[in-house]
Amino acid sequence: MLKVGVIGAIGYVGAELIRILINHPKVKLEAISSTSYIGETISSIYKNFYGKVNLICTDMEEVIKKSDLVFAALPHGLSEEIAELTFKENKILIDLGADFRLSKEEDYKKWYGLNFLFKDLHKNSIYALPEFNRSKIKNYKIIANPGCYPTSIELGLMPALKNNFISVDNIICDSKSGATGAGRTLSLKSHYTEVNENLSAYAIGNHRHTPEIVECLSKISGKKVSITFTPHLLPINRGILSTIYCNLKKEICLEEIHKSYAEFYKNEPFINIMPLGETAQIKDVKYTNNCNISLHQDHNKNQLIIISVIDNMLKGAAGQAVQNMNILMDFEETDGLDFIAFSN
């Protein structure tokens, strides 16, 4: 059994990792940490773990010591020091934060206000969107798990870019997320009375996921991609719906585009291309590691409209992290992730 640990276990994503890992057939959850709850059991904080998990929150050094593979579910700026420790110990780190998602330090400085602390570590890390670079992931010890918004957008656009159907200029990405995407720490924007019966845009024109999306899509395309990305906060707990507008490079029927998408993703266990005429919706992927994609054209037939939906806590975070672990360890990619959505 693979020994795994979770650093940042008390956040929503950390708790979701625990929920998945305790039911994974090939791993043993050895240790968890939280700087704010050292000495407390996870079941005293999340009551759903009563009788199932009674691990005590400890410090990150203890988690690294006891684990072969470590998940870090922390805000940006906190994972590089963990990566340095795991790399020295020849252990694997799957980082669910932003510290290793961008390849250029100047981009990290511009968007996150920080420099790389351990520059050489970044040469030993990989941006791990499985459907894009699955074959390379096994060669790295530091795994950068993609962000939630980028995952929905990149999966939605990948076949269109690979098949050269669309212009790489002026791609519009309109995304909406449930409130868990704001994290467990309460702020004014995530307060119940602010979220309930409301729909609000935020970080308009300067959301930190923008450079991540641009970098990944540019690698997929082989050309510099230009996007306009606007996130919105939905009055729901979980889920992301991205509506993506892109200009077709040539006249092509929707049936042909749909066929190419179905072919592109035919061997992907977590990607579903919806039948033409149907629209992807959040409730069909909630509590799963799936990404459902539906394809549409505007009335002039010159614009492709892509709807891509994921559960932000699973395919957008913890589920994709476990998927990456499965790839790294040569497990079945669906191990621990074979969930059916709640449809109501």
Q: Which residue has the higher pLDDT, 13 or 193?
A: 13
Q: What pLDDT does residue 189 have?
A: 64
Q: Taking residues 244-267, report their average pLDDT.
A: 96
- pLDDT, one tens digit per residue, over 85-134 is 999 999 999 999 999 999 999 999 999 999 999 999 999 999 999 999 99
Q: Catalytic positions, please?
A: 148
> What is the maximal distance between C-alpha atoms in the chain?
63
- pLDDT, one tens digit per residue, over 282-322 is 999 999 999 999 999 998 889 999 999 999 999 999 999 99
> What is residue 313's three-state secondary structure?
coil
Instruction: For residue 344, name the pLDDT band (cuts at 50, 70, 90).
Output: low
268: pLDDT strictly greater than 80 = yes
CA distances from 124 to 41, 114, 139, 143, 328 (A): 34, 19, 9, 9, 15
Cα angle 225, 228, 231; round to 5: 130
CA distances from 29 to 4, 63, 84, 201, 262 (A): 5, 10, 22, 38, 36
Report the CATH superfamily, name and number, of domain 2-146+315-328: NAD(P)-binding Rossmann-like Domain (3.40.50.720)
Instruction: For residue 137, name the pLDDT band (cuts at 50, 70, 90).
Output: very high
In terms of Cα–Cα distance, which of 96, 71, 23, 27 is closest to 316? 96
pTM summary value: 0.95
Query: On the CB side of 193, how many CA atoms lie within 13 Å of its CA?
Result: 1
184: pLDDT strictly greater than 60 = no
Q: What pLDDT does residue 45 have?
A: 87
The domains of the chain are located at 2-146+315-328, 149-312
Q: What pLDDT does residue 303 have?
A: 95
CATH (residue range 149-312): 3.30.360.10
Q: What pLDDT does residue 146 have?
A: 98
